[in-house]
Amino acid sequence: MIAARRIRICLAIAALAATPLGIAACGSSDSSSAGSGAAGTQATAPGAIRSVSVQQAHDQLEAGTAVMVDVREPDEITEQAVSGTINIPLGQLEARAEEVPTGKPVLVFCRSGNRSQEGAAILAANGYDASSVEGGIVAWQDAGLPTT
């Protein structure tokens, strides 16, 4: 069962890396490569991970319409965190995926947006409706959004 999950994760990551839309979801500012999808997410090719802006993530978190998982390491969280997030370091996410609530979209958050892509792929491979938060805590702070 674990081997099957790893294969699904590898396929999701490979699909993300192999598509122009996957590249756009990793932080390209070329808005012509992806349109707007439902609930403020970017439209993506099958297997690619959707992404949301920090403002969209903030609004969804505040409204209670999404759950946010911070995949940074504990020492990074002590420096700067976002209230209401669940911290599961990326290296532990697959083993601890059952700790992520179901029934709402999951927004995956990190420092700059790179680990969140992998974290969203892991959760998507485990059946979650997961999106990556573009730019992570760096973009969150740049946007003047609240931190603890």
Respond yes or no: is residue 110 known to be catalytic. Answer: yes
Q: What are 113's two structure tokens?
A: 């947006």
Q: How far apart are CA 145 and CA 76, in angstroms?
A: 17
Indicate which residue of 24, 52, 68, 110 is catalytic. 110
Cα distances (angstroms) measured from residue 2 to each of 62, 79, 80, 130, 137? 34, 33, 33, 20, 31
Task: Please list the active-site residues.
Answer: 110
